[in-house]
């Protein structure tokens, strides 16, 4: 298996632009997580899905952020409009059999810079 695949690897955009981050989880995994990592705030859980359904989005910072999972093999995190304070590394992770608190498999992340 190729692991969790995220794209793009790097994204540089200007304030006010729409940004879309993409994630392909590991096949067969039924949980998908989006995290944001910054020096100041560490790793923050933004939202997670189970069987393509959003379960908890309490970590989504504001209405400018939205996430979708149209099928088991694809998820997007969209920021519209983007702001400089959104600059961070965004990670997608997937797992299965969450009832036992199984381990997360992380993608390589998207480094987002909003100028």
Partner 1 sequence: SQQGEEDPQALSIQEGENATMNCSYKTSINNLQWYRQNSGRGLVHLILIRSNEREKHSGRLRVTLDTSKKSSSLLITASRAADTASYFCATDAGGFKTIFGAGTRLFVKA
Interface residues with partner 1 (CB under 8 A) are: 4, 31, 33, 35, 42-43, 45, 48, 50, 55-56, 91, 93, 98, 100-109
Nearer to partner 1, 18 or 102 (CB): 102
Q: In whole angstroms, how large is the CA radius of gyration of the chain? A: 13
**Residue 114 CB, nearest distance to partner 1 (Å)?**
19
Return all residues near 9 (Cβ < 8 A) that are at least 6 apart.
108, 109, 110, 111
Residue with tokens 């989005």: 57
Min dist CB 28 to partner 1, Å, is 17
């Amino acid at each position: 298996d190729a692991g969790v695949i995220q794209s793009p690897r790097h994204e540089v955009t200007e304030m006010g632009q729409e940004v879309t981050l993409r994630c392909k989880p590991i096949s067969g995994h039924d949980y998908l997580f989006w995290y944001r990592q910054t020096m100041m705030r560490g790793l923050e859980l933004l939202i997670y899905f189970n069987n393509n359904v959003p379960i908890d989005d309490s970590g989504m910072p504001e209405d400018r952020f939205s996430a979708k999972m149209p099928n088991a093999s694809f998820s997007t995190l969209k920021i519209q409009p983007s702001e400089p304070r959104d600059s961070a590394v965004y990670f997608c992770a997937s797992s299965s059999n969450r009832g036992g608190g199984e381990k997360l498999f992380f993608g390589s992340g998207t480094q987002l810079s909003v100028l």
